[in-house]
Every structure is written in C-alpha cells, then in structure tokens.
A and B are shown apart, each in its own frame.
With several copies, the nearest count.
Chain A
Amino acid sequence: MIIITLRYFASLREQIGRSQETLTLTDSITVLDVWQKVHQTPLPDNTLIAVNMEYVERMHYICDGDEVAFFPPVTGG
C-alpha cells in the first residue's frame, strides 16, 4: 500500500480550497495520474510538481511516503 501526502500552494491552493490531503493507492502511479485521480480535471498547463521538495516531471512515479506538491510558476525575489 502506498500512502502519499498532496500539497497545494498559492493560487492553486485557493482554487482547490485546501492546502493538503492524503491519498492511499495500491500501486505506484505517475504524479500526473495522481492529479487526475484526485481532481478529475486536466492539470493546469503551467503547474510545477515537486516530490519530496525536488522538482519532477509529470511522468515521475510516486513511492510510499512521498510528499507530492503542485503549484503555479514561482514568483519570488
């Protein structure tokens, strides 16, 4: 069994209406599939994805215990 934490930031967090949730899966799937499973909508085009605080591509497969974050383009500095 694979349990992951999902996190959302900034405008995406506001649109989704929550900052964090937990997802339990039977198999490893890609981060893109994680999004589609939870949200049933296409991942917005510019969305950045991090797993355990490192950027990943959409086809990155998750592992048990991962923290998967979705957020819009960054605007710091």
Chain B
Amino acid sequence: MTIKIVETVFEPFQEIHAFQMQLALNGKFGATSIFIGTMRDFNEGDQVHAMTLEHYEGMTQKQLEKIIEIAKDKWTILEALIVHRIGDILPSEPIVLIAIWSAHRADAFDACQYIMEELKSNAPFWKRETLNSNQTRWVVKNTDSSANQK
C-alpha cells in the first residue's frame, strides 16, 4: 500500500503503470479500479484559472493510511495506491489518483469509491481557488458523493 503526496504535476497513468510493474502480483489480480480527480477550469458557476492545495503534513498520511486499513478490513484487496497533489495547480492537472487491485471486480470498485469518499471527507486538504478576476476564495465544501440520476 503506497501513499504519495506530491508537490509537482504527476502523470497518473505513468504512476499506475510504474507501481503495477513492481508488484509481484502477475496473474493474481483480475480487477483494477482507478479514480482520477482532475482540476477543472470552472467551479460553482465561475471560471477558475489556478488553485492552491494546502494540507496538514503528517496528518494527511496518517488519515489516508487509516482509510486504506479500514477498506482492507471491509474488502479483499491486494494493493492500493494513492497519489495526491499539493501546492499550486493549474486546470487540467491531476489532483488525486486512487488505484485498487483485487482478485474480483466488486472489491476493487467498492474499495476505490469508499477510499475516495473518505479522502474527500477526512483527509486534511484545503483548496483555494484563483478566479479569472484574480480574486481568491477557499472552497467551502466538497460536492456531494451521489449522482443525480437523470
């Protein structure tokens, strides 16, 4: 299980690929579920042209480890990778990557979504957006976890 907090732009597919290559799991995993959160150029109706991600160093790692441990208790997962960006971020750059390897698909799907929701609720990160007007504002609340089915 690996948690990486990175200060510069990362390439999610390269991260997953490199991580997977060094796992001794060939033939053992049947399912990989991946979530990538990417910075948009809009939020709550406004154009956003930059963002700064602050975190509570130490607590971040501790909380993410705890979230993975709980997921491992709930589902049968073989490996987990979390990469989260901090610092100054531009639109279309990745913010977060979660990847779960398991034998069966339901475990991977459920654990990946669980970890993402727990990260959103409990990992001590904070986003400050810079709007196109150059005003800055703290993001006050993460969006809801449930989709509005059409």
Which A residues are within 8 Å of any B CB, using their own CB?
7, 9-11, 48, 50, 53-55, 69, 71-77
Contact = CB atoms under 8 A, between A and B. Distances in A.
B135 interface: no
Contact of B123 (A11, A54, A74): A74
Nearest to A10: B126
Contact of B140 (A53, A69, A73, A77): A73
A75 B140 contact: yes
B122 A74 contact: yes
Main secondary structure of the interface of B (DSSP, over half): mixed
A76 B59 contact: no
A74 B62 contact: no
A57 B80 CA distance: 30
Contacts of B127: 75-76
A6 B107 CA distance: 39
Contact of B119 (A7, A50, A72, A76): A76
Contact of B126 (A7, A50, A53, A75): A75
Contacts, number: 74
B125 A53 contact: no
3 smallest beta-carbon distances between A and B, as pairs = A76-B125, A10-B126, A53-B59
A50 B55 CA distance: 13
A5 B81 CA distance: 32
A11 B126 CA distance: 9
Contacts of B96: 76-77
B37 A77 contact: yes
Given A10-B128, A11-B126, A75 B141 contact: yes
B55 A76 contact: yes
Given A10-B138, A74-B122, 17 more contacts: A10-B128, A11-B138, A50-B124, A53-B62, A53-B63, A73-B141, A74-B123, A74-B124, A74-B142, A75-B138, A75-B140, A76-B53, A76-B84, A76-B95, A77-B123, A77-B125, A77-B142
B128 A50 contact: no
